Amino acid sequence: MIDQSDNVIKLNSINRRVFILAAAKVIILGGIISRLFFLQVKENKKYLTLSDKNRIREWKLPPIRGDFKDFFGNTIAGNFEAYQLHLIPEQVENFRYTINRIKNILELSDNQFKRIIKKQKEIKPWETLIIADNLNWENFSKINNNLYDLNGVKPIISISRNYPYKENYTHILGYVSQANENDILSNEIVKEKFVQGLKVGKIGLEKTFENDLIGSNSIERYEVNAYGRRISQLAYQQGDKGKSIKLTVDTEVQKLANKLLADKSGSICVIDIFTGHVIAMQSSPSFDPNAFVFGISQDEWQLIRNDPMKPLVNKSISGNYSPGSTIKPIVALSALENDIINPKFTINCKGHKHPLELYGQTYHCWKKEGHGYVDMREAMKQSCDSYFYEVARRLGVDKLSETAKQFGLGAKVFDGLFSNEKNGLVPSTFWKKNALGSNWLLGETIITGIGQGYIQTTPIQLCLMTAQIANGGYKLYPKLLVENTKDEKKDKFVPLVKNPKNIKFIQDAIFSSTNEIRGTSYRSRIDNPKYQFAGKTGTAQVKRITERDRELDLKTSEIPYEERDHALYVAFGPYKNPRYAISILIEHGGSGGKVAAPLANTLFKKIIDRHEIRKNYETNKYLDI
């Protein structure tokens, strides 16, 4: 009995153990099956997505920037295909080996190689490293032929900025360059669309209209193997190109302005006196904006930056200059409008022998022997300083200031279109008390009357002033952008003068200055009525003329460049039916009559010849709508 009982006990023990093991197996197997079911069915989408993320890669490309076009639809800032070489460090098995292979294939210099290594250390492992952003076709082909040994390297055809007219549009358009940290942080749209190699506007209209021009990213999806090597492209989502912007500028006139300013420092502006369209606005010297697209070298940058003629400054809107005698039409008009004098008011200009003396100061006329007896028209024709000293004295600076501001001086012309546009300065008694804490002096009124002293203007302001004189004294709003609709919003004709006869008289006086004997720009006249124009010269001092300077009476070429007067000229034409106004400034050019005015002769011929072409183009454009 005892032996049998022991056997039963042993058997029961074995059975329990088998049962426990079997149960354990069932539980474990059930757990495995349950887990597999969970992974394969319940979590199918999740792990399929994770698998796809390892298998499928997404490449975001820089957006295609919108174009700038001139009035006739010519592309003045566009795009071209650029061959680039990209690399994502974390996708490369052996970065050092790969980068050395690229160096040998492209024959990179040691400095170029060091810059690439430096850039690689500055970015995250998953960010795109741009090895080259503008390869020639030969090197691009070499890379493609060696892709089997360049794991993670991506040769791409990208779109980059191009300025076909080079320095002709630099100061209007500005330029684009690689987006930096400040560009990204200061603009949410740039931040959202940023990829390595993104170019953004740095100055000019490129910067102003960044959000309109930038476009949207293209996205490329492709499959890779276990080593991250590309197998096939799965999808390509084309981004939208940025908005194209059309300007009022005529490229042919703009190019001529650039040519006329060659080897000079200065500005030429042209405005349609009725539409306000800016036909040309060139600042010189200029530079090729294409040099900045892929990054300018340090040597090139220093040459531009340290050039004494300051090519980086847009002199048309940022240069503050004394207007000199170009202000005299406004002085005369203000005196007439305020009934201070009439056109027949006469003085006797005796030149240097009998200057105006006031509180120990002497005020000379520019003409040594004097002009004799002159009325307003004759004084305008010969630009007699003595006459305008007396007119300004009787008028007072506050009345002159009011008229000058009405005609566009002392305020930005483009209302925020350019971040670097200057206001200029039209002084008044209140301004001096508020800004300098001292009272206005009569002598300061006298020199303001000939465009010297505190008064400062930009060339585009002088062009606007002249345009409003030419159109009969009506408010004008200069435009650089062409409206996209057939019916442009018409600006109301707001008169700036009380008596139209006064503006007619000023127009005639300016005509005499160019087209009658003894006129200061008589040698630059055009007799043909088709091209005939009326203009006023100006010579702005950059330093005070001493008695010794007057005695030496040096020629311009004998004076140090930085001490020479600025040469100015403003004009409108054709005289009988005015349509365009211009301003010309030549820094340190000397006499306005000898240096600036002759350029107007060539300029008006081109402008007026282009007028019919412009008119016909506009008519045909509206007929096509």
Active site residues: 325
CA atoms within 13 A on the CB side of 464: 25
Residues 6+ apart with CB under 8 A from 236: 218, 219, 220, 221
Residue 402 phi/psi, 5-degree rounding, is -60, -45
Instruction: Annotate 600-618 with b (16+ C-beta within 10 A) or e (fewer).
Output: bbebbbbbbebbeebeeee
- Tokens for 578, please give them: 């005015």
SS3 435: helix
CA distances from 513 to 165, 386, 565, 584 (A): 36, 17, 20, 16
* Residue 277 Cα to chain centre, angstroms: 17
Peptide bond into 155 cis (omega under 30): no
Residue with tokens 């970065």: 95
Please say whether the beta carbons of 412 and 423 come within 8 A: yes
CA distances from 93 to 51, 97, 98, 150, 153 (A): 20, 9, 8, 10, 11
- Tokens for 172, please give them: 């209007």
Q: What is the arrangement of strands in the sheet containing 534-540, beginning at the earlier edge strand?
A: 278-284, 266-272, 580-586, 566-573, 534-540
Measured over the CA atoms of residue 60, residue 66, residue 67 and residue 72, the dihedral's sign is: positive
DSSP classification of residue 39: I
Q: How far apart are CA 524 and CA 513, in angstroms?
A: 10
Q: How far apart are CA 252 and CA 259, in angstroms?
A: 11
Please say whether the beta carbons of 577 and 333 come within 8 A: no
Please say whether the beta carbons of 451 and 328 come within 8 A: yes
CA atoms within 13 A on the CB side of 260: 29
Residue 547's Cβ-count burial label (10 Å; 0-12, 13-18, 19+) is exposed
Please say whether the beta carbons of 183 and 210 come within 8 A: no
Strand stretches in 453-528, DSSP E: none
SS3 571: strand
Q: Which of 169, 263, 283 is nearest to 583 (CA)?
A: 283
Q: How far apart are CA 532 and CA 526, in angstroms?
A: 5
Q: Which of 172, 171, 244 is nearest to 213 (CA)?
A: 244
Q: How many residues does the chain have?
A: 625
Question: Can you name the residues that pair with 199 across neighbouring β-strands?
Answer: 178
Residues 6+ apart with CB under 8 A from 565: 324, 539, 540, 541, 542, 556, 588, 589, 590, 591
Residue 107 phi/psi, 5-degree rounding, is 55, 50
Residue type for position 324: G
